[in-house]
Amino acid sequence: MDARGELVARMYPELKRIAENRMRGEREFHTLEATALVSEFFLELARQQQFTWQNRAHFLAVASQAMKRLLIDYARSRGAEKRGGGHLHIQIDALNLSTKDGVLDLLEFNNLLERLWSEEPRMAQVVEMRCFGGLTNKEIAEALGVDERTVKRDWQVARAWLVSQLRGGRPRVG
């Protein structure tokens, strides 16, 4: 298992605990608020003594990615537990969605993100760090070693594309 895999495996119970605590039970479908979750998860991760970080950028990059993988794992496990209707919904402030109270289906979102990965990996990474790491453009630029302007552009295009796709709109793209 690689270092990141190990990190994900070790942190899974912790994330699950945080997620269950944070689940909004009163909803028709269970919804997580990404921002609150991310912040609690990052703090938990930062406290862990067994992981060592080269620097802040390394921590932020790894943690964002771990957060995403953990959430996807969690969403899948819930889907498996409850046949149908087990989808995990998440509210991602960074996306600033105006519909559905800003809530989206995590697995659907992940599928879109994977499509983005195959075509524009850096754009996908920017999305990951914004949505699952709660980071700002400046922080992402530092972590990826690119210009802040580049991050901003990537994010604007990626967000607009993701949003158009999430609404079921299918702009004809290549």
Partner 1 sequence: MSGEDWERIKVIFEEALELPERERMGYLASACGSDANLSAVLVRLLENHLEQSSSGSTIVKGRVFEDGALIAGRLRITRFIAGGGMGEVYEVFDERLRTRLALKTLRLELTSTEDALSRFQREILIAREVSHPNLCSVFDFIEHHVIDRQTGESSVVPCLTMELIDGESLADHLARERPFSPTTALPLIRQAAAGLELLHDHGIVHRDLKPSNIMLAKDRQGAIRVVLMDFGLAKRAHRKDEMFESRLDVHAGAPYFMAPELLRESGPSVASDIYSFGLLIDEMVTSDRAFSAQSLQSLYFAKLWEAPIAPSLRSAGLPQNWEATILRCLRSDPGERFQRVTDVLAALEHASDVEICPVSNKNQLVPPAPPSTKPPPVRRQLRRRTLVSGFAVLSILGTGRVLISLPPNSISTSIQVYDIENTASASYNYLCKGTSVELIRRLSRVKGMSVIPMHEPRSLARESKVGRFTLEGILQEHKEKLRLSLLVTDNQDSKVVYSEDFDRQKIDDPLQLQSDIAAGTALALEKHIRPGSVGLRVQQSSLFPILSRLTGGFFRPLSQDLQSSPTSNTEAFDLYLRGHQLLEDFSSSSNQAAISYLQRAVKADPAFALGYATLADAYLNMMNYYQMPQKDLLEDARKNAEMAVNLDSDLAEAQDSLAVVRQTDWDWHGAERCFLEAIRLKPSYAIARRRYAGLLLQFDRFDEAISMAREAYSQDPYDRGAAPGIGLYFYLAGHYDEAIRFLEGEIGDGDMTAARHNLGDAYAEEAVRSTGSRREDYFAKAFLQAAKVSRIEKKEDFEKGRYAPFGDEMFAHYYSLQSNYAAARPYVERMLTDLESNRVSPAIMAWIFAVQGDKERALDLLERALATRDRKLFYVKQFPALASLRGEPRFKTLVANMGL
List residues near partner 1 by CB under 8 A: 21, 35-36, 38-40, 42-43, 46-47, 53, 55-56, 59-60, 63, 93, 95-98, 102, 119-120, 123, 133-136, 138-139, 153-154, 156-157, 159-161, 163-164, 169, 171-174
d(CA 35, CA 96) in angstroms, rounded, equals 12
- How far apart are CB 78 and partner 1 at their closest, in Å? 22
- How far apart are CB 23 and partner 1 at their closest, in Å? 13
Nearer to partner 1, 58 or 82 (CB): 58
- How, if at all, do strands 103-105 and 89-91 pair? antiparallel
Q: Residue 31 pairs with which residues in a beta bridge? A: 24, 89
Nearer to partner 1, 80 or 96 (CB): 96
Nearer to partner 1, 79 or 102 (CB): 102
Nearer to partner 1, 35 or 110 (CB): 35
Give CA torsion, residues 161, 165, 170, 174, to 10 deg: 50
- How far apart are CB 80 and partner 1 at their closest, in Å? 28
- How far apart are CB 84 and partner 1 at their closest, in Å? 30
Edge-to-edge order in the sheet of strand 103-105: 31-33, 89-91, 103-105
Instruction: Give the contacts of 135 (CB within 8 A, at least 6 positions apart).
Output: 60, 64, 129, 143
Nearer to partner 1, 87 or 163 (CB): 163
What is the DSSP track for 13-54?
HHHHHHHHHH-BTTSSS-EEEHHHHHHHHHHHHHH-SS---S
- How far apart are CB 48 and partner 1 at their closest, in Å? 10
